Chain A
Amino acid sequence: MKAESTKAKNKSVITLDLIELENTSTTWQEAVISSCMLLVKNHYVEQKYIQAVLKSVDELGPYIVIYPGFALPHANMEDSIWHTGVSFTRLLKPIYFPKRKDDPVNSLIAFCSDDSRSHIKILQKLAMIFRNEDLIDVLQKSRDKEVILNLITGNLEMEKT
């Protein structure tokens, strides 16, 4: 299956199929693979993308742990990316990355970019979410995939308490 033939220009960056809320991974590798598999299964990236992500954590360290509890697995392997996409995986039990033994991670936001403008918009939204404790709380606790979908796509209006 050639990448070109499956590129869908109107594909959404995130859908309900890309959200998993009760993942049973028990190691960081399993968790990273699970979160990236959501992108693979839904035709956003090829399988080899996962190897690139694992390799970058091995070689560069867990720089993808961007906020307490959250990791952002990603890689820039252009020839394996078909469309910009974001997946959200919440683990039932936290995992720990190497060299970050005091940093439990229970949410993974896997992200791939086809270098279009949409990836900057999504990153801006993620950056904004992490500035708001109420929104981070929603990401960590909500059991409603629709709520999480709306939050990441920026449609959720949160009233500040």
Chain B
Amino acid sequence: MKIATICGWGLGTSMILKLNIEDILKRNEIDAKVISWDAMSFKSQDADIIVAAEDFKQILEGNNSIVVLIKYITDMEEVEQKTLEGIKKFLEQDKKGDKK
């Protein structure tokens, strides 16, 4: 499972988000790869789940990946809850073979 985080520049907020998600995956014993992208070049990339600040909602519209939007990327409760929801969705889609 591939999870991507997005930020304007791919090095600041997306990295904090990446660190937080890696922690969440570890605690929940979920195996997934997390990478951080910048908002300008992500369109040529591929991921199962994209986690990003709410502000990126528009640029992510129509994207085939499961999109998880976060208000405060350092709020672990919010990030954990929403990321786990996104992972659950992905696993359900995968089971049904609906994965695009």
Cross-interface CB contact of A60 among B39, B72, B75, cutoff 8 Å: B39
Q: How far is the CB of A23 from chain B (nearest CB, A)?
A: 21
Docked CA distance A115–B6 (Å): 17
CB of A154 closer than 8 Å to a CB of B: no
- Taking a contact as CB atoms under 8 Å apart, the answer to whether B11 and A113 are in contact is yes
Pair count A-B, CB < 8 A: 69
24 contacts between A and B (CB under 8 A): A60-B8, A63-B7, A63-B8, A63-B13, A63-B54, A63-B55, A63-B56, A64-B12, A65-B72, A66-B72, A66-B74, A67-B75, A72-B13, A72-B16, A75-B8, A76-B12, A99-B55, A123-B15, A124-B19, A126-B16, A127-B16, A130-B74, A131-B74, A131-B76
Interface residues in chain B, defined as those with a beta carbon under 8 Å from any beta carbon in chain A: 7-13, 15-16, 19-20, 38-39, 52-56, 72-76
Can you name 12 extra interface pairs (CB under 8 A) apart from A63-B56, A66-B72, A76-B38?
A62-B55, A63-B7, A63-B8, A64-B8, A66-B73, A67-B74, A74-B11, A74-B12, A76-B11, A99-B55, A124-B19, A127-B19
Residues of A within 8 A of B (CB): 56, 60-68, 70, 72, 74-76, 99, 111, 113, 115, 119-120, 123-124, 126-127, 130-131
